[in-house]
Amino acid sequence: MSQLLPPEFFTATVPLNAYLILSAILFAIGAFGFMFRKNIITIYMCIELMLNAVNLSFVTFSYQFGKVDGQIYSFFVMVVAAAEAAVGLAIILTIFRNRGTLQIDEIDTLKN
Amino acid sequence: MDVILFTFFALVAIVGAVNLVLQKHPISSALSLVAVMVALSVLFLLLGAEFIAAAQLVVYAGAIMVLFVFVIMLLNAGAERESRKGGFAQFLGLPLTAILLVFASYVITQSMSNAKAVKFGAFSGGGPREVGWELFTRYLLPFEVTSILILIAIAGAVVLARKEID
């Protein structure tokens, strides 16, 4: 196996910017879904996707500076996301019980 | 080997994210999000963040997504209906996110000129021991505040989701 492949194959490295750009791509997709989708649960999942993208940035910067602080921040982001998921899904349950729908453009009581 | 792993799991993450946005049914979106989270956990591992990778799998892909799927099943959420209301986001959403992405990529490539190359195993300060040490010494106060936040979240979820008795 090792004769078939050149030795550079096993030692090649990934530039750090690739991780940051992947994080930006995931964040942009999440932001687009947040604006475009109409189902409140899917919108919620897009928020989670954006949080995950930011976590990737934090961990990448942690690697860049050789310190563990970035990983601590991403740990706190995870904790806040868990709390947010619990409260947010309870709010979604209440909305569905009161309005009988999950489409956000039908939940417009505050409009006019 | 690093390049292969990064390319594969980055592609899995991007395809999963696009699928999350494009799928009409919330269950399909939720399963795509699980794929994104598992791929990101492998990328965390490549960056030397062993504890965060494990927490990502357990907390995100395990707990949070189970909660999502549970709520989708509980509400019997069907496929999303098309609606023509709110055309602003429909027409400007894609160009604006594309501009955001291009701008962010430009800033990243310009400002990170002294970026290291990522090699698996080069940074080993992300194990449970190192993370726990930092968490319980320098970040002790934020950690304790977090416990209050979780307590409020539990109480809030119970209050919001209970049935009205009267």
Tally of CB atoms within 10 A around A108: 10
Specify whether the CB–CB gap between A25 and A5 falls below 8 A: no
> Which residues lie closer than 8 Å to B63 by C-beta, 6 or more apart?
A82
* Contact state of B49 with A71 under an 8 Å Cβ cutoff: yes
* Contact state of A29 with B59 under an 8 Å Cβ cutoff: no
* Contact state of B116 with A83 under an 8 Å Cβ cutoff: no
The whole-number pLDDT of residue A84 equals 92
Confidence band, pLDDT 50/70/90 cuts, at residue B15: very high
| Mutate which: A44, A59, A69, vs B, most B CBs within 10 A | A59
* Strands of B19-144, DSSP E: 117-118
Residue B61 has pLDDT above 80, yes or no: yes
Residue B8 has pLDDT above 60, yes or no: yes
Give the span between the Cα atoms of A89 and B103, in whole angstroms.
33
The whole-number pLDDT of residue B78 equals 73
Give the span between the Cα atoms of B5 and B44, in whole angstroms.
12
Specify whether the CB–CB gap between A74 and A81 falls below 8 A: no
The whole-number pLDDT of residue A112 equals 67
Specify whether the CB–CB gap between B2 and B120 falls below 8 A: yes
Give the span between the Cα atoms of A109 and A95, in whole angstroms.
12
- How do beta strands B117-118 and A14-15 pair? antiparallel
Distance from CA of B66 to the nearest CA of A (A): 11
The whole-number pLDDT of residue B166 equals 60
A101-105, B21-25, B69-73, B135-139 — which is least confidently predicted?
Answer: A101-105
**Residue ranges for chain A with pLDDT beneath 50:** none
Interface confidence, given as ipTM, is 0.88
The whole-number pLDDT of residue B96 equals 84
- Distance of CA B5 to CAs A88, A101, B2, B32, B59, Å? 35, 42, 5, 19, 23
Mean pLDDT for all residues in chain B: 86
Give yes or no for B98 touching A (CB within 8 A): yes
* Contact state of A78 with B37 under an 8 Å Cβ cutoff: no
The whole-number pLDDT of residue A99 equals 84
Q: At what angle do helices B140-161 and A69-99 cross, to 10 degrees?
A: 10
pLDDT tens for each residue of B103-154: 888 888 888 777 777 777 777 878 889 899 989 999 999 999 999 999 999 9
Which residues share a beta bridge with A18? none
* Strands of A1-112, DSSP E: 14-15
Give yes or no for B73 touching A (CB within 8 A): no
Set of chain A residues whose Cβ sits within 8 Å of the Cβ of B51: 71, 75
pLDDT tens for each residue of B30-54: 999 999 999 999 999 998 889 999 9
The whole-number pLDDT of residue B147 equals 93
pTM above 0.80, yes or no: yes
* Contact state of B21 with A37 under an 8 Å Cβ cutoff: yes
User: How many Cβ pairs closer than 8 A exist between chain A and B?
Assistant: 239
Tally of CB atoms within 10 A around B113: 7
Give the span between the Cα atoms of A94 and A79, in whole angstroms.
23
